Amino acid sequence: MKESSGTTQGLWQLLLPHKPKKSAFVYLALLVIGATVLELVLPLYSSYLVDSIGNDGIETFIIIGLIAIVLTTAVLEAFLGWYGGKMGHTISLNLRYSLIGRLLNGQTQSMDQEHSAELSARVINDSKEVKSVLAEDLIGLLSGIISLIAVITIMFILDWRLTLVLVSCVLAGFIIITPIALMMNNIGQEQQTAEANLLKYITEWLRYGKLIRSHNAANQMQKQSRELLDKSFKHEMRATKVMSLIGPIANLVLMISMIAILAYSAFWLKQGTLTLGTITAFLLYLFGLIFPLMSMAMFFSNLNKAAGAASRLSEIDKFAKEPVGSDIQIDEIASLSVRDLSFSRNDKDILKAINYQFEGHGLSVLLGESGSGKSTFLSLFLGFYPETFGHVFLNDKPLSAYNLLSVRQAIAWVDQEPKLLHATVYENLTLGLTENIGSNRILEVLQSVGLHAWLTRIENNLDLVVSEQAHQFSGGEKQRFAIARAILRQSKVLLLDEPTSALDDVNKKELMVLLRQLATTMRVIIISHHLDLIEPSDDVIEMVAGEIVPKLV
């Protein structure tokens, strides 16, 4: 996937479709203002408390008032943290939902060159950086800005001389911290890329663990993982170095400010132009400023990191969506044909000006050498590539004339290696179906495709979770299971890619009997290399170098 440099503008453009209602921002602003006002009142009240100390001590109502302010501030800040976090998490939820939808509904050509694990890492890990800014740092920025402006204003009213001392120290700190925070942009982007790359390879290694172990390649893969981990570690340490500088610099600014204020305060206090209460308020405001300053510094640091992550997420957001087609639903498929169909990928011609028509029900067998284009040819009936829509015809109408979802409901596809999700048996069989199907119907269909022994083995447990590691199926059982899934869809056309490749001779013949039975009511098209399974009544087609011609058997 092409990498692009991250900018805050790109981040806001990515988030704009998922922003909350204006009222949510109004509530957030009111909470921030309320919490900030109470935080600002506390030093002033403390100053009043100090200056009101007399021979008789402190009045009780003053102490009660101080406690009330502290407790109210704590409650309001807790609610502010919850509400602001909820806003950030909601935006992140909607962003992730949108990105997952973009991937699930993306055009096939947009996905062909991408690795699924890397895309998953982008959706999950990169969006965490965005969520962190929204759910945690944004509140700190808002309250920090308000606090900074209000505190400096109050300080200026209390004593403009000490205010100038403080502002000078704070500006010096910002001048130092800002360029350090800006470094997080590229660091964050490179770190996320390294982690996505690591996840991509780990996913593959775990998926093909038997292959790796059978080739004695485990040590080789582990050494490769070290290189990937070292690269990720390098970027993590760069980020850690940057973040480790921000805190000490902020503390240094605080200490210098405090020393300067105490030094000048002692001089002016001796002159009688400054009161002890004012000094107390200044020191409390000074310590109160460190948190807004830190929050603002962290925001801009993480903002640049999130901007780098957003540039990766924006690439997903640019994936073209599949065209839905028209609103016309297809109920029956009387004929299925292609006219002048050509197809190429990566400057390679896969199919060349094919013309062929399948009429009514029956069994068609597609023959040909590996790489001749057979699998691609069948997959085009499902509308994976929009450029072929005008050359694929259903009932003598182009594919674009129908709603694509209804086309895929009418045409079932069973891959050479049927794909099963990490879900229950029931969920795998009813994949994509909106109506509820009873257990009795499912068991009936499973038995009809010859899975009696398998059902006995799992004790008819339709809630059993199918896992790639558990190996609940043999190759032949998986094929039959996928065919059962197609039958439950009540499709009009059944496409199968090498359905007998994993079967012995007995099971091959049994499966062909089942397919011929299905072909009495629907069009069944299979890819096969086994000529001995073909009968004279079958429609046999041979494909050679992307072209098909009828073959007599």
Instruction: End-to-end CA distance of the chain: give it in Å, rounded.
Output: 47
Residue 495: pLDDT band with limits 50, 70, 90: very high
* Average pLDDT score, the chain: 79
Tens-digit pLDDT profile for residues 202-230 = 877 777 766 677 667 778 888 888 888 88
Burial of 134 (0-12, 13-18, 19+ CB in 10 A): buried
Q: Are 398 and 390 in contact (CB under 8 A)?
A: yes
Mean pLDDT value across residues 42-57: 69
pLDDT, tens digit (0-9, with 9 covering 90-100), for 315-367: 777 777 777 778 888 888 888 999 998 988 777 888 888 899 898 889 999 88
> pLDDT class for 441, splitting at 50, 70, 90?
very high
Is the pLDDT at 249 greater than 60? The verdict is yes
- pTM metric for this prediction: 0.69
Mean pLDDT of 183-201: 73
pLDDT at 469: 59
φ, ψ of residue 84 to 5 degrees: the values are -65, -40
- Segments making up each domain of the chain, as ranges: 8-317, 335-550
pLDDT attached to residue 474: 76
Q: Which of 39, 43, 114 lies closest to 73, judged by CA?
A: 39
C-alpha angle 437-442-446 in degrees, rounded to nearest 5: 160
Phi, psi of 519 (to 5 degrees): -70, -10
pLDDT digits (tens, 9 = 90+) for 35-48: 878 877 777 777 67
Average pLDDT rounded to a whole number, residues 89-112: 78
Q: In the prediction, which pLDDT does 494 show?
A: 92
What burial class does residue 121 get, using C-beta atoms within 10 Å of its C-beta: 0-12 exposed, 13-18 middle, 19+ buried? Answer: buried
Helix, strand and coil percent figures for the chain, each rounded to 5: 65, 10, 25
Tell me what percent of the residues of the chain surpass a pLDDT of 70. Answer: 87
CATH tag, 335-550? 3.40.50.300
Angle between helices 184-207 and 218-271 (to 10 degrees): 150
Q: What is the pLDDT of residues 101-143, one digit of tens each?
A: 887 777 776 666 677 777 777 777 777 777 777 766 776 677 7
Q: What is residue 328's DSSP assignment?
A: P
Q: Which two tokens stand for residue 136?
A: 């945690």
pLDDT band (50, 70, 90) for residue 5: very low
What pLDDT sits at residue 241? 80
359-396 pLDDT, tens digit per residue, is 888 999 988 888 888 888 888 898 888 888 889 999 99
Please list the alpha-helical segments (H only) found in 430-551.
Answer: 439-448, 452-457, 475-488, 505-518
**Paired tokens of 66:** 């101080």
- Residue that has been written with the tokens 């050679």 in this structure: 544
Q: How far apart are CA 200 and CA 231, in angstroms?
A: 14
Answer positive or negative: Cα dihedral of 452, 456, 457, 462: positive
Q: Report the pLDDT value the prediction gives residue 309, as an integer from 0 to 100.
A: 72
Asked whether residue 525 carries a pLDDT value surpassing 90, the answer given is yes
Lowest mean pLDDT among 212-226, 333-347, 484-498, 526-540: 212-226
Q: Are 222 and 36 in contact (CB under 8 A)?
A: no
pLDDT at 129: 73
Between CA 247 and CA 510 the distance in angstroms is: 72
pLDDT the model gives residue 550: 59
Q: Which CATH class is domain 8-317?
A: mainly alpha
- Average pLDDT in the 411-422 region? 83
Cα 81 to chain center, whole Å?
25
Cα angle 84, 87, 93 (rounded to 5 degrees) comes to: 140
Least confident span in 231-235, 407-411, 496-500, 503-507: 503-507
Task: Kindly report the length of the chain.
Answer: 553
CA 178 to chain centre: 31
301 closest CA partner among 8, 499, 49: 8
* Per-residue confidence (pLDDT) for residue 443, from 0 to 100: 93
Do the beta carbons of residue 133 and residue 217 sit within 8 Å?
A: no
pLDDT band at 3 (very low <50, low <70, confident <90, very high): very low
Which residues 6+ apart lie within 8 Å of 236 measured at CB? Answer: 191
pLDDT digits (tens, 9 = 90+) for 279-314: 777 777 777 666 666 666 667 667 766 776 777 777
28 pLDDT exceeds 90?
no
* CA angle at 330 for the pair 434 and 112, rounded to the nearest 5°: 75
As a whole-number percent, the residues of the chain with pLDDT over 90 amount to: 5
* Position 184 pLDDT exceeds 70: no
Candidates 552, 551, 544; CA nearest to 377 is 544
